[in-house]
Chains A and B, each alone.
Chain A
Amino acid sequence: MAKPPAKTPGKSPGKTPAKTPAKAASQPGVSARQAKIDAARKANKVGPNKIMIGSVVAVVAIIAVVAGVIINSQASKSAVSQGGKALPAGVTAMGRGWVENASVVKAGAPTVSIYEDFRCPICQSVEQAFGSSIQSLAEAGKIKLVYHFKTVIDSHDGSDNSQQAASNVLCAADAGVFWKYHDQLYANQPPEPGTFSNAQFTTFAKDSGLSGAKLTAFQSCATAGKYLNYVKSTDDASYKNGITGTPAIFLNGVPMNYSSFATADQQPDPAAFEKAVLSGKLTAAQTDQTLVKAKAKDVS
């Protein structure tokens, strides 16, 4: 194998197109044309153009992400805009808490603000421990009871079932059976991950004693999702104020460490709970230190 005497640059041997001296000598015209063709071929490299493909990929990627943002923001909007925008009785603006016992509350009663999600298991435990205390204090007007409904579990599973449950309990409140509906939601709480069915929502209303025109009114309120936007607004407002989880209970704006109300054998102690609530003040041990920075300022 004869080595060509050409002065090929050492670093890139064999890369130059075939340009044998023999050919060049015998057919100078053809060779010049061939060199031009080769040069042209090299300039517009046969095969895909990296810059063009890169631009297409970049544009497609940007469109995909922007479209994704639009789809997601529309989806999260339509989840609520499908529902009604009604405010519960006595609530003046979106995001504010709803006073459950406005008609009976006595002057100077301490304010108890509860942030709850009907599908949250710890909310259920707290309800079982102190629910009847809260209810009797509220019905006697000894506390001002403010509810802020939250949808924490919805943000875990992507459903709007907690939101629906809260909207429906407000429909039940319109019909005058708030507590009965409230208790049934907790008594029949679906184990995680699970949702209430629409049939269950209706059964709870019937079992709360609604029938005839009242049941029809409840049904249309539930079907329309009358308070879905309001529930979304209380979840957002409380989240912005640092109340990101459930349950949370505030007494006159101070976060309560509800697990501190326990007997020596670690059972819930409703008597101690009621005593602290009626005093309107919490000791350091009864205060939830992790929530002290949270603002319960949306307490209405």
Chain B
Amino acid sequence: MSTQGDHRTVAPDDVEDHAAYAHRLRDRHPAAFDAVGLLARLVLGVVLVVAGALKMGNPVGAARAVQGYRVMPYDVATYVGYALPYAEIVLGVLLVVGLFTRIAAAIGGLLMLAFIIGISQAWARGLTIDCGCFGGGGQVAASQTKYPQEIARDVGLALCGAWLLWRPRSFASLDRALFRA
């Protein structure tokens, strides 16, 4: 129904507010952007599921990995270590299937931000730990630390979260199937 007459009724740029402009930008190339969204979902989601699964069955190790950062009190760190694998799997599964993408991505991204801060402070304080991101963790020899690689990887994952926070729409998501998002 796009006729000349319709076209003239579209609001001119000077009254279009900032939010509407951002909205238009976000939806300029829906197919390409939806594909990026799918990729971001799968990368962050699969990494979270794998990271959680590898920590299963070793509660002491998971607790030690968190204790190794020496940020939280010993007992708090123990319970955070117990909870983390399950939280990662729940978030990861939500992202992989694309259900409540925006909130799952926001929490996943914040988790990555927390990891980046944790690893950075360990590096700055001269601790020699493995990040324990995929099981393992705790004290390692100084030559075995991989802080720059670990931070770079988590920054990449945080960016996946940030993209989905900005534009949660993507291909092949339950959000779309159920709520036509």
Task: Give the residue among B61, B85, B128, B136 with the most A Cβ atoms within 10 A.
Answer: B61
Contact A72 B3 (CB under 8 A): no
Q: Is A87's CB within 8 Å of the partner chain B?
A: no
Q: Is B62 among interface residues, defined by CB-CB distance under 8 A?
A: yes
Tell me if A239 counts as interface (CB < 8 A to partner B): yes
Quick one: given A54-B100, A68-B82, are A10 and B9 in contact (CB under 8 Å)?
Answer: yes
**Given the complex, which residues of A lie within 8 Å of B94, measured CB to CB?**
57, 61
Tell me how far the C-beta of B129 lies from the nearest C-beta in chain A, rounded to whole angstroms.
9
| 8 A Cβ contacts from A29-78 to B | 47-48, 50, 53-54, 57, 61, 64-65, 67-69, 72-73, 75-76
CB neighbours of A13 from chain B (8 A): 1, 6
Contacts between the two chains (Cβ within 8 Å), count = 85
Contact status of A53 and B68, CB under 8 A, knowing A73-B59, A156-B138: no
Whether B60 contacts A79 by the Cβ 8 Å rule is yes
Tell me, rounded to whole Å, the shortest Cβ–Cβ distance linking B80 to chain A. 9
In the assembled complex, A84 has its CB within 8 A of some CB on chain B? no
Given contacts A155-B138, A156-B138, A239-B67, contact A68 B61 (CB under 8 A): no
Once the chains bind, are B6 and A57 in contact (CB under 8 Å)?
Answer: no
Contacts A13-B1, A76-B63, A240-B74 known; A155 to B58 CB distance under 8 Å? yes
Closest CB-CB distance, A150 to chain B, in whole Å? 11
A155 to B9, CA, bound (A): 67
Which of chain B's residues have a CB closer than 8 A to the CB of A14? 1
Whether A75 and B10, one on each chain, are in contact in the complex, defined by CB atoms closer than 8 angstroms, is: no
Contact at B3–A64, with CB atoms within 8 Å?
A: no
Given A47-B178, A53-B178, A239-B67, decide whether A72 and B9 contact each other with a Cβ distance below 8 A. Answer: no
B145 at interface by CB-CB < 8 Å: no
B90 within 8 A of A: yes
Sorting the interface of chain A by its residue count into under 10, 10 to 19, 20 to 34 or 35 or more gives: 20 to 34
- One of A57, A68, A152 near B138 (C-beta < 8 A): A152
Q: A57 to B58, Cβ gap below 8 A?
A: no
- Alpha-carbon gap, A22 to B100, bound state (A): 43
Using A155-B61, A155-B138 as known contacts, say yes or no to A67 and B86 having CB atoms under 8 A apart.
Answer: yes
The contact string, 1 if C-beta is below 8 Å from chain B, for chain A 13-33, is: 110000000000000000000
Q: Is A298 part of the contact surface with B, judged by Cβ < 8 Å?
A: no
Query: Does the CB pair A72–B62 fall under 8 Å?
Result: yes
Ranked nearest first, the 5 interchain pairs of A and B with the lowest CB-CB distance are: A158-B58, A68-B86, A72-B59, A72-B82, A10-B9
Residue pairs across A and B with Cβ atoms less than 8 A apart, 24 shown, are A3-B1, A3-B3, A48-B178, A50-B179, A53-B99, A57-B99, A61-B90, A64-B86, A64-B89, A67-B86, A68-B83, A69-B79, A69-B86, A73-B78, A73-B82, A76-B63, A154-B61, A155-B58, A155-B61, A157-B61, A158-B57, A245-B138, A245-B139, A290-B128
